[in-house]
Amino acid sequence: MKVTINDVAKHAGVSIKTVSRVTNNEPSVKQATIDKVNKSIAELDYLPNLAARNLAGTKSYVIGFIYDNPNAYYVIDMQNGILSSCKELGYELLIHPCNAKSDNICQELTTMVKHARLAGLVLTPPLSEDPKILQALDKIDANYVRIIAGEKIDSDSGLAVLVDDKHGAVSITQHLIDLGHKNIGFLSGDQHHESTKARLSGYTQALLNNNLALDQQNIIEGEYSFESGVAGAKTLLNRVNKPTAIVACNDEIAAGALFAARLEGLDIPNDISIVGFEDSPFSRQTWPKLTTVHQPNQKIAQMATELLIANRRSQKSAQSKIFIPEPVIRDSSSKAT
């Protein structure tokens, strides 16, 4: 026989409303009461029906994860991080892939928020960086948190988790410079991502910091894909003055660059050093393993979700956070020869 909220309330000696407040993680419930209710929940093996609660109540308990990103590893990390916090805090997760370039993207998202009665949205790039989307969500008073590239928290720009991509790019480029590399290429990701601009800015800043000339021909525009890394690396390696090292905008691009270098008969890292960004599984599945920049996407997603839910509950702890990515040195980089 299925255990109900009435059974839990009777077992714990509290009201049904109190059980509901505990399972909803509402504030102002005494810890002793929380412990008593949770003990009854555990002993009775009670599973709250979150979907029914969402339909029946005045509040929603569904968080939406909105993304447009071809990198499956990034999406999975974000999904797992959000889901982890949702489970801990008593929420469910709705996953919604979309096309950020669609003419109807604003209407698509606002309609979804209304129809699904979402408690909030976790927005990832490039959606989290599009002013039109943000304005449309603000117009319907949607609760959302943005995961964005940035160096400094702006309290006036809304709730966000920032990733200091520029710092990470400065650090990984400096690593190559410290190894003696002076002619360093850069393989870019999609231009409509702010992270691309921040990583390029970090690369150029590192060259400037070391009085190294910036050769615009060393900067190859592309996309966040393996194929883009292959094509970009081929362009660099066919130059007369080809670079001795390459900074790729993410690990997938770097993996493509490794493949292209091997097609050219080059040894990595003895003939050319190649580094990535994000520390995704790509960085550990290549041979040699990639030197990269560690970006804890799952942890970032967890924090974003916690901030979102805290903001919905009007808790003072709902303040924007910033992550500082740092290099992870592996086997794909070595001293310049």
Question: Is 170 inside a domain boundary?
Answer: yes
pLDDT of residue 57: 47
Q: Residue 182 — pLDDT band, cuts 50, 70, 90?
A: very high
Q: Which CA distances in Å does 178 have to 85, 170, 229, 242? A: 40, 12, 24, 19
Mean pLDDT of 128-155: 90
Question: Is 54 inside a domain boundary?
Answer: no
Question: Is 56 inside a domain boundary?
Answer: no
What's the CATH number where 312 sits? 3.40.50.2300
Residue 62 host element (H or E): strand 62-67
**Mean pLDDT for all residues in the chain:** 88
Q: What is the DSSP string of 261-326?
A: HHHTT--TTTT-EEE-SB--HHHHHSSSPPBEEE--HHHHHHHHHHHHHHHHTT-TT---EEE--E
Both 187 and 141 in one domain: the answer is: no
Question: Is 271 inside a domain boundary?
Answer: yes
* pLDDT for residue 53 is more than 70: no
Both 190 and 223 in one domain: the answer is: yes
Q: Residue 38 — pLDDT band, cuts 50, 70, 90?
A: confident
Q: Number of folded domains in the chain? A: 3
Per-residue pLDDT reduced to its tens digit, 72-100: 888 999 999 999 999 888 888 999 898 98
Q: Residue 318 — pLDDT band, cuts 50, 70, 90?
A: low
Both 170 and 216 in one domain: the answer is: yes
Instruction: Please list, in sequence order, all residues whose beta carbon lies within 8 angstroms of the beta carbon of residue 11, skipping any fewer than 6 positions away.
Output: 40, 43, 44
Question: Is 336 inside a domain boundary?
Answer: no
| 273 torsion bin: left (phi>0), alpha (psi -120 to 50), beta (else) | beta
Model pTM score: 0.79
Q: Which two tokens stand for residue 67?
A: 């993304």
Per-residue pLDDT reduced to its tens digit, 190-209: 988 899 999 999 999 999 99
Mean pLDDT of 286-301: 94
- Residue span of the structural domain in which 310 resides: 62-163+296-324
pLDDT of residue 48: 61
* pLDDT for residue 69 is more than 90: no
CA 143 to chain centre: 18
What's the CATH number where 34 sits? 1.10.260.40
Per the model's pLDDT, the better-predicted residue between 168 and 7 turns out to be 168
Per-residue pLDDT reduced to its tens digit, 239-293: 999 999 999 999 999 999 999 999 999 999 999 999 999 998 889 999 999 999 9
